[in-house]
Homo-oligomer: A and B are copies of this chain.
């Protein structure tokens, strides 16, 4: 019964993730998730409480899948590819993850004095720092890692894509350029 409940929950979250990928988190409703997963609306409400609960569960679920992909998934994002190549793939993956759930990331924006110490950011920073060292980046690697992290801030992605109308592809190209500047042309 317990495994059954977990399976049902996962199925609802996957249906919700598909809907977010197609239409954005803004347009997600409890009804649409119920319909996409072929269950009654009541089931979705019982499981997640309300729309906010569903969105939070969805963000946790997708952040987990995103983290697993770069920590233990297949290359070039996961282990096995050269560090500079993994670094490129990591930024592109992060930009897509944040862009897909941008409103949820913005809604969870911590106050300025706690913004850079939250756990998901620590995971990203540790990963970037490790890859910069593996790619033998010149210079102050801890600071370089912070510069790269700055490119992956939800507030910046929001500003560039929505307030200045840039395509996500341009941000991805900007990331690749930044990686090349950080690790040098030799390893690019």
Residues of chain A at interface, number, CB under 8 A: 31
**Chain B residue with minimal CB distance to A150?**
B150
Q: Which of A25-33, A54-62, A76-84, A170-178 contacts B (4 or more CB under 8 A)?
A: A170-178
A153 interface contact, C-beta 8 A: yes
Shortest Cβ distance from A173 into chain B, in angstroms? 7
The answer to whether the Cβ of A6 comes within 8 Å of any Cβ in the partner chain is no
- In contact, A155 and B112 (Cβ under 8 angstroms): yes
Q: Is the interface of A mostly helix, strand, loop or mixed?
A: helix
Cβ-closest chain B residue relative to A158: B113
Instruction: Answer whether A158 and B109 are a contact pair too, CB < 8 Å, given A143-B177, A150-B147.
Output: no
Given A155-B112, A177-B140, does the pair A147, B146 have CB atoms closer than 8 Å? no
Q: Contact flags (1/0) for A122-162 with B, using CB distance below 8 Å?
A: 00000000000000000110010011001101111011100
Say whether A7 faces chain B, with CB atoms less than 8 Å apart: no
Residue pair A150, B139 in contact (C-beta under 8 Å): no
Task: Judge whether A143 and B174 touch: CB under 8 Å.
Answer: yes
Tell me the minimal C-beta distance from A176 to chain B in angstroms: 10
- Residues from chain B with Cβ under 8 Å of A47 in the complex: none
CB distance from A140 to the nearest CB of B (A): 6
State whether B181 touches A160 (Cβ < 8 A): no
A131 to chain B, nearest CB (A): 17
The listed residue (B112, B143, B154) touching A158 by CB distance below 8 A is B112
Picked from B140, B151, B182, the residue with its CB within 8 Å of the CB of A150 is: B151
Residues of chain A touching chain B, judged by Cβ–Cβ distance below 8 Å, are 106, 109, 111-113, 115-117, 139-140, 143, 146-147, 150-151, 153-156, 158-160, 163, 170-171, 173-174, 177-178, 181-182
The 3 closest A-B pairs by CB, nearest first: A150-B150, A116-B159, A143-B174
